[in-house]
Amino acid sequence: GDSVTQMEGPVTLSEEAFLTINCTYTATGYPSLFWYVQYPGEGLQLLLKATKADDKGSNKGFEATYRKETTSFHLEKGSVQVSDSAVYFCALSPKTSYDKVIFGPGTSLSVIP
């Protein structure tokens, strides 16, 4: 079945460091891909998405490119801030509209001043 794999962390970075969180997926056809972020004490919120191969999603300085050839959707940010400390979830929405969204295990990020 469809699945999402991502580095689990925790990841600890200094402020202004470069961030990469790896995400790979297994799916039939062409799913849509998402990154969600969960801040402490809150639910998840959409960070960015890409719906077809080679699409680049971007938001708040974060970027991710849908790579069909490597089945990947790695999240990157050039300079992280303390306020980026959160848990990041990679997710896919399968090709049919009748299948549930599948989430990765989440990657905890701590940014220290």
Partner 1 sequence: KAGVTQTPRYLIKTRGQQVTLSCSPISGHRSVSWYQQTPGQGLQFLFEYFSETQRNKGNFPGRFSGRQFSNSRSEMNVSTLELGDSALYLCASSLARDRISPLHFGNGTRLTVT
Interaction of residue 105 with partner 1, rule CB under 8 A: yes
Interaction of residue 57 with partner 1, rule CB under 8 A: no
The least distance separating partner 1 from the CB of residue 92, rounded to whole angstroms, comes to 9
Q: What is the CA radius of gyration of the chain?
A: 14
The least distance separating partner 1 from the CB of residue 14, rounded to whole angstroms, comes to 26
Between 19 and 93, CB nearer to partner 1: 93
Question: Which residues sit opposite 45 in a β-bridge?
Answer: 37
Q: 28: which 2 tokens?
A: 């039939």
Interaction of residue 43 with partner 1, rule CB under 8 A: yes
- Cβ atoms of 88 and 74 within 8 Å: the answer is no
Our CA dihedral for 108, 98, 50, 37, rounded to 10 degrees, sits at -20
- Chain positions contacting partner 1, by CB under 8 A: 31-32, 34, 36, 41-46, 49, 51, 89, 93-106
